[in-house]
Structure 1
Amino acid sequence: MRVQHITVDCAEPYELARFWSVVTGWPISEIDKPGDDEVLIEPPDPAMTELLFIRVPEPKSGKNRVHLDLVPTERTRDEVVTRLLDAGATLVADHRTPGGRGWVVLADPEGNEFCVEKER
């Protein structure tokens, strides 16, 4: 088995896909446009799992049962956290330690939590 998509239910698929495009650096699919009920962002490697955003009528309720843990590849964790906060993320919890380890929990513009871990 291969996981084709990680699907995110949301109110505004294109807007949320734009945020996650900034997070990942992956482009929104050329066939998707504002107002679409499903919007895909495509990783650079077709073997990687895609992120799919689908419009649903109900709002998010409660904590995510599944979330993404992201590891920076070209910047430090702290630089990435600052960039994502500037892009519209909100800080949920800061678990960084004085020694530089730990992670930061952020939420996207619709409240979906994700973590940014220390760079490797």
Structure 2
Amino acid sequence: MFVNPVRHITFDALDPYKTAEFWSAVTGFPIHPDDQEGDEEILLDPAQPGVPGLLFIRVPDAKSVKNRVHLDIQPPTGTRDETVERLIGLGAKLVDDRRREDGSGWAVLADPEGNELCIERSAAERGQG
């Protein structure tokens, strides 16, 4: 039996709570009930065995270079383009648009603190849903 050894994916953040709120909207993972605005660490708890949580830890310095690791997001509902627009409305910025005329490709966004994420086509758009 395989056991996922990854407990958390951790993000450095100037404002862990605000950054966690954004990522909660991206993933649907709720902020852990013990965590509150002003805490040094905020956990998004997927409450699903084997699925790592997203942990946001306060650091004193802003992001200064491109991420070496990022999350690829496949929307569970709706479309890639709807998700891009929704996240821009929540404070994300479009960094690189790799969407193609044939509907393939992805969009690279940055969260409000500058962490990159890619938005791919949904399973339905890929013909898998």
Q: Under TM normalisation by the shorter chain, which class is it?
A: over 0.9
Which residue is 1:59 aligned to? 62
The TM-score, its normalising length taken from structure 1, stands at: 0.97
Which residue is 1:75 aligned to? 78
Which residue is 2:9 aligned to? 6
Paired AA for residue 51 in structure 2: M
Which structure would you say has the larger Rg? 2
Q: 1:27-60: per-residue Cα shift (whole Å, max 9, x none)?
A: 1000000000000001141320100000011111
Give SS of 2:113's match.
coil
Runs of 4+ in 1 over 3 A off after TM superposition: none
Which residue is 1:113 aligned to? 116
Q: Find the partner of 1:50 among 49, 53, 58.
A: 53
Extract unaligned runs of 5+ from structure 2.
124-129
- Give the % identical residues: 56
Q: Find the partner of 1:32 among 11, 35, 42.
A: 35
Quote the Cα distance in structure 2 between the aligned partners of 1:7 and 1:75. 27
Quote the Cα distance in structure 2 between the aligned partners of 1:26 and 1:4. 14
Quote the Cα distance in structure 2 between the aligned partners of 1:46 and 1:107. 28
Extract unaligned runs of 5+ from structure 1.
none
